[in-house]
């Protein structure tokens, strides 16, 4: 298709202390197969304390913005207000996009009612049991097709929206650090004007660098559980309200099962030639349950006024 017939697209990336990953992201954005004259790249520095801002300012074909209000969604909203695109694509600073990323996302809008299309997230590397579990077993962050009780949602690590979605429904909820992309998806579905779509796993691939430190992974689990409680509280028609007691009961069940399954995996690993990082995955499931319990309990206590609300980053 001639470039002049293609829509103008804005890419938005929030950046917070990502100097190690930014060069990989910027190189992948420069290799996109979308015509440069039909594209703008808006990177928003969100008060980084490392060399991220300097790297952005030195990059070619990147419009650099700054947002003083802490939070990735405040940064995204800052760029949305300035974006000129008919479509707006999002990814994160710790990601690398495939050359056909924009083309495949845009081609996914094959229905005028589609408000957002999500592509595939795959691990950029696997180096230990933490990023293996998060990227290959837990597969989070990722989009969700929904279930009997939870409505579908798309996440901002790999998604494209029509600009009209933000014009019609407003910007992201920037008061929360975790979950506003889920909330936007539910707002889209609730509007009755738009629908969502998740592409085939082989399309619009973004390579995501998952966490390699257990402490970082555990913090994100607690943060997301805390945020999910308030999401479900605000949108009861979209998801059931989680309860700390149910998570605690699941922890007790996990304690009775997962140590034995882990021992079994360890015994069979030499026979099955299982990579060392795959052996403790059941113990990681137990860690997920525990941290979801802690995060949900913290949210319930804050909601009841028994402790101050948490500041999430």
- How far, in Å, CA of 18 to CA of 45, rounded? 10
Instruction: Give residue 313's pLDDT band: very low, low, confident or very high (50, 70, 90).
Output: low
Q: Which of 151, 35, 34, 44 is nearest to 90 (CA)?
A: 44
- How far, in Å, CA of 189 to CA of 197, rounded? 11
Instruction: Give residue 311's pLDDT band: very low, low, confident or very high (50, 70, 90).
Output: low
Give 274 or 286, the one with higher predicted confidence: 286
- The pLDDT, as a whole number, for residue 269 is 87
Residue 137: pLDDT above 80? Answer: yes
Structure tokens belonging to residue 180: 């506003």
- The pLDDT, as a whole number, for residue 246 is 96
Q: What integer is the mean pLDDT of 231-251?
A: 96
Q: Residue holding tokens 């319930």?
A: 300
Q: Which of 114, 116, 132 is nearest to 124 (CA)?
A: 132
Q: Which runs of consecutive H residues, i.e. helices, occur in the chain?
A: 22-30, 52-58, 72-82, 101-107, 129-132, 163-169, 180-191, 214-234, 244-272, 281-303
What is the percent of the chain where pLDDT is above 70? 98
| 122 SS3 class | strand
Q: Which CATH number fits domain 3-212: 3.40.50.720, 3.40.50.2000, 3.40.50.300, 3.90.550.10?
A: 3.90.550.10
- The pLDDT, as a whole number, for residue 175 is 81
- The pLDDT, as a whole number, for residue 312 is 59
Residue 123: pLDDT above 70? Answer: yes
Q: C-alpha distances in angstroms, 212 versus 13, 111, 201?
A: 22, 39, 24
- Average pLDDT score over the chain: 95
CB 14 within 8 A of CB 72: yes
Query: What are the two backbone dihedrals, phi and then psi, of residue 150, each rounded to the nearest 5 degrees?
Result: -120, 130
Q: What integer is the mean pLDDT of 291-309?
A: 93
Q: What integer is the mean pLDDT of 100-106?
A: 98
Q: What integer is the mean pLDDT of 13-33?
A: 96
**Domain chopping of the chain, boundaries:** 3-212, 232-303
- The pLDDT, as a whole number, for residue 274 is 86
Instruction: Give residue 308's pLDDT band: very low, low, confident or very high (50, 70, 90).
Output: confident
CB 229 within 8 A of CB 299: yes
Q: What integer is the mean pLDDT of 23-39?
A: 97
Query: What are the two backbone dihedrals, phi and then psi, of residue 139, each rounded to the nearest 5 degrees?
Result: 50, 55
Q: Which of 124, 302, 143 is nearest to 225 (CA)?
A: 302
Q: C-alpha distances in angstroms, 155 versus 2, 30, 46, 106, 307?
A: 31, 23, 19, 16, 29
Residue 32: pLDDT above 70? Answer: yes
- How far, in Å, CA of 172 to CA of 147, rounded? 24
- The pLDDT, as a whole number, for residue 178 is 80
121 torsion bin: left (phi>0), alpha (psi -120 to 50), beta (else): beta
Structure tokens belonging to residue 174: 């920037």
Claim: this prediction has a pTM higher than 0.75: yes
- The pLDDT, as a whole number, for residue 90 is 98
């Amino acid at each position: 298709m001639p470039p002049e017939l293609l829509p103008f697209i804005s890419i938005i990336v929030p950046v917070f202390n990502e100097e190690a990953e930014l060069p990989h992201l910027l190189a992948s954005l420069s290799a996109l197969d979308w015509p440069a004259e039909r594209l703008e790249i808006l990177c928003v520095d969100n008060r980084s304390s490392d060399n991220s801002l300097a790297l952005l300012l030195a990059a070619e074909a990147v419009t650099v913005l700054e947002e003083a209000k802490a939070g990735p969604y405040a940064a995204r909203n800052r760029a949305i207000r300035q974006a000129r695109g008919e479509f707006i694509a999002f990814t994160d600073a710790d990601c690398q996009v495939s050359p056909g990323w924009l083309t495949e996302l845009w081609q996914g809008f094959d229905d005028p009612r589609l408000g957002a299309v999500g592509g595939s997230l795959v691990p950029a590397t696997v180096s230990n049991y933490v990023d293996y579990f998060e990227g290959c077993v837990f597969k989070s962050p990722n989009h969700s097709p929904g279930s009997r009780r939870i409505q579908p949602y798309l996440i901002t690590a790999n998604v494209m929206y029509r600009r009209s979605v933000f014009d019609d429904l407003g910007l992201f909820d920037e008061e929360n650090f975790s979950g506003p992309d889920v909330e936007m998806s539910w707002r889209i579905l609730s509007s009755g004007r738009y629908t969502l779509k998740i592409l085939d796993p082989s399309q619009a691939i973004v390579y995501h660098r998952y966490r390699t430190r257990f402490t970082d992974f555990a913090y994100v689990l607690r943060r997301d559980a805390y945020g999910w409680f308030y999401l479900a509280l605000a949108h009861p028609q979209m998801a059931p309200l989680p309860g700390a007691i149910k998570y605690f009961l699941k922890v007790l069940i996990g304690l009775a099962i997962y140590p034995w399954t882990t021992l079994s995996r360890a015994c069979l690993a030499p026979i099955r030639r299982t990579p060392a990082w795959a052996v403790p995955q059941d113990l990681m499931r137990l860690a997920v349950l525990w941290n979801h319990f802690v995060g949900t309990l913290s949210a319930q206590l804050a909601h009841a006024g028994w402790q101050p609300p948490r500041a999430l980053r």
